[in-house]
Every structure is written in C-alpha cells, then in structure tokens.
C-alpha cells in the first residue's frame, strides 16, 4: 500500500454515503479500510437501478460501487457476542473508526465512545449524523435530500424561488464525508502531539450550512435572504449560462476589466450608466442577459467558446456525463480508475480527486499518489482473511508505533456485554 496514510487501519462501520465517502477518501490516501457490514449488507447494495448483472448471477449496485473502492468487507452482527468480540479486536488495532448510526445506537450495541477509548486510547472516532449529536433535534434520522431542504440549499437552487430544487448529486452526504475525513486527519495530527485519540463529529446539517458561503453572510451580515434564481450568479454579472446559435455557453466576468474585454471583443455598445460597474450590471441583470444573448445568437457554440478564450474570458460548455468521462482533460487528471472486480471483472470507476507529489531541490516533481486501487468488495469477501490476520501473531516491531499499545491490550471488557 502506498500513499501518505499507508500503515493506518480504518474500521468503517458506516453505510449509505456520508461515512463510506469519508472512509473511501482515507483509503485513497493509502489507509487500509475494513468495511464492517451487517448480514444484510450496506443499504446501498440494494439502491438501484441501475444494477449490473455478473456472469455468476450476482447483482451489483452501481451506487455501492461509487463510494466503496479501496476497502475490504467483513460481515458482523454486533448483537452476537462472537461478532462483537471480532469488532473489539479490530478496534484494538485500529487508528480510526467511522460510524454514522443515529446518535446513541452504537452505545446500545455495546460500543459507546467511552468503551472504544478504553479499548484503544489512541483511536480517532468519526461520527456523522443527520442533524447533529445534540440539540433539540439531535436524534433525527438524516437523509441527503431532507438535509438539503432543512439546511436551506434547496431554497437557493432551481429556476425560481417558488420552484425549490435539490442538487443533482447527494451533496449533503458528500460534504459531510469530506468534512469528516478532514477532521480525522486533523485528529491524527493532534494525536502525534498528545498520544491520545479523540472523537470528531459532523453532520449533514453542519456540512450544508458551512457550504452556504456568500449566501450565508448575505443573510447574517446584510439581512438579505437569498433565493433561487436559475443559472445566473446573484452577486456577479455577467456570470451564468447564455444561449447562443448552437445551444448555450457559460461565461464568468469576475471584474470590470473582464467586462471591458468582452465588450471590446464583440463590439458591444452598452449603457455605461447601468453597466459600468458590477453592482450596476447585477441590478440590471435581465437587460444585460438580453443584450449578450442577442450578440451571441450570431455564433455557434464552438466558435463562441474559441472567441471567448482568445479574449481571456473564462467560459465553458455544459457537458453530459458521457462527454465528461470521454474528455481528454478528465483522463489527464487520472480521474478514472480501472479495477478488477470479483464478480464483474474489469470495470472503470471515478477516481480520487487528490494527487500528491514530492519536489526535489531542482524542482523535479515525483508523483506519490497511491499507485493502484482495489475494487469495491462483494459482501463479506474478506472475512476469512481478516479473521486469520487477527488470529496471527503480530510482532510489535512490525507495526506502526501508533498501534503498539492497542495490540498489547487484552480484550478485558468483552464481559460488559
């Protein structure tokens, strides 16, 4: 295993998307990730269509495949003492444990944070919830679209204020996973200094609210409530989707100098009193859109994009997903990962968004990104190997210092169950 987290052991008790996303990001960075599933498997194994039918008769969900690369799978029923003891032994060797049960559930299963820390004082625990672990609604179950609505994102998305729209991907889950992974890395760094682990908590609610960006301060500071207004920016103009002869293009004029170049390049005679400043262009956005679309109507999409590029105006097309995955730039950034799946054979997955490099004194870069990936596991695929690994003697000299004390610790409190 390569990558900056090589040698780290992550126990992934989570299911659906937020927790699995966080664990997958840690796996992408080189950690060994053991996914602990219930006998029924992760919920997303049944989320579809689309499903892919393998030659051996098994059926795989493309949803599950999207968020579980670089993991191993073992089935444990934590209500059974024997399986609870297996998890206990995994916890003692782990660096990180992730869970996204409803608050209080893991404690009822016998693995509250107090017991986890007794088992392994160096453990970093990531807990992701829907609406937070405390507060008047801390116990609510959270699914992405519910969180998008409750956290205000849907009120900002869509063609008009009376047509709220969810994002096209489960952005609340994805953000919570990203924030969770970020928190885990910070806690591991803190452990380097103190020698002790800690609990990291985030939620779908917190992650969406934290992503409000300028829409948040638009209300908290200026007292203005943002509303959905389609494909044009509420604070910058021109910035959005514009129709042209062959379809549409997106442009972004982030300052007055860009606007000046756009005017010059296309011979636009604009009302300086209204359009000279960004604030004026925002105030008269509808007139500005009408003006630009009347000019762009003379150009096919490719010709318009070429002219905008030559002028130095940031611009782009709206691609379908098949176009994105066929795009040479996507391939150049290593955003596709070919793996050999146990039942499906060779499949292609979206890859990690991160690449890492070392730079020598002469400025020569050497890529250190994890050099291979493993496919999402079939249910319980690695149970035998994991149990054998737990049973095998593990010399203290052969493991990282972060886990030496944990490995030496006997399972002294299994009787608590």
Positions annotated as catalytic residues are 173
C-alpha 138: how far from its chain's center?
23
Instruction: Specify the pairing of strand 336-341 against strand 345-350.
Output: antiparallel
Residues 142/203, Cβ–Cβ less than 8 Å: yes
C-beta neighbour count of 66 within 10 angstroms: 18
C-alpha 188: how far from its chain's center?
19
Q: CA–CA separation, 375 vs 213, rounded Å?
A: 35
C-beta neighbour count of 209 within 10 angstroms: 16
Which residues make beta-bridge pairs with 336? 350
Which residues make beta-bridge pairs with 9? 32
Contacts of 169 (CB under 8 A, 6+ apart): none
Contacts of 192 (CB under 8 A, 6+ apart): none
C-alpha 72: how far from its chain's center?
19
Q: CA–CA separation, 316 vs 328, rounded Å?
A: 15
Which residues make beta-bridge pairs with 213? none
Contacts of 2 (CB under 8 A, 6+ apart): 30, 368, 370, 371, 372
């Amino acid at each position: 295993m390569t990558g900056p987290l090589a040698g780290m052991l992550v126990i992934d008790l989570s299911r659906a998307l937020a927790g699995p996303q966080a664990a997958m990001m840690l796996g992408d960075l080189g950690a060994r990730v053991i996914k602990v599933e219930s006998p029924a498997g992760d919920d997303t194994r049944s989320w579809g269509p689309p499903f892919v039918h393998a030659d051996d008769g098994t059926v795989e969900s493309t949803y599950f495949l999207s968020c579980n690369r670089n993991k191993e799978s073992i089935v444990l029923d934590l209500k059974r003492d024997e399986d609870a003891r297996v998890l206990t032994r995994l916890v003692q060797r782990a660096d990180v444990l992730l869970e996204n049960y409803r608050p209080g559930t893991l404690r009822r299963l016998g693995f509250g944070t107090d017991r986890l820390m007794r088992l392994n004082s160096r453990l970093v625990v990531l807990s992701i919830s829907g609406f937070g672990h405390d507060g008047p609604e801390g116990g609510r179950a959270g699914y992405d679209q519910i969180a998008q609505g409750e956290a205000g994102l849907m009120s900002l998305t869509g063609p008009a204020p009376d047509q709220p729209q969810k994002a096209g991907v489960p952005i609340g889950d994805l953000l919570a996973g990203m924030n969770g992974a970020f928190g885990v890395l910070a806690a591991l760094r803190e452990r380097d200094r103190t020698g002790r682990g800690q609990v990291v908590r985030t939620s779908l609610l917190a992650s969406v609210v934290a992503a409000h960006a300028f829409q948040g301060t638009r209300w908290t500071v200026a007292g203005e409530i943002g509303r959905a207004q389609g494909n044009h920016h509420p604070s910058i103009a021109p910035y959005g989707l514009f129709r042209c002869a062959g379809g549409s293009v997106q442009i972004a004029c982030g300052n007055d100098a860009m606007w000046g170049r756009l005017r010059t390049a296309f011979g636009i005679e604009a009302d300086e009193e209204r359009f000279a400043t960004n604030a004026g262009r925002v105030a008269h956005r509808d007139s500005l859109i009408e003006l630009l679309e009347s000019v762009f109507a003379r150009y096919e999409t490719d010709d318009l994009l070429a002219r905008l590029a030559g002028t130095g105006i940031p611009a782009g097309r709206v691609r379908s997903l098949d176009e994105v995955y066929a795009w040479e730039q996507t391939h150049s950034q290593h955003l596709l990962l070919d793996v050999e799946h146990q039942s499906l054979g060779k499949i292609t997955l979206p890859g990690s968004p991160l690449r890492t490099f070392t730079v020598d004194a002469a400025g020569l870069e050497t890529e250190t990104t994890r050099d291979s990936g493993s496919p999402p596991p079939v249910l319980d695929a690695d149970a035998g190997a994991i149990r054998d690994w737990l049973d095998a003697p593990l010399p203290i000299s052969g493991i990282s210092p972060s886990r030496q004390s944990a490995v030496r610790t006997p399972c002294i409190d299994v009787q608590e169950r």
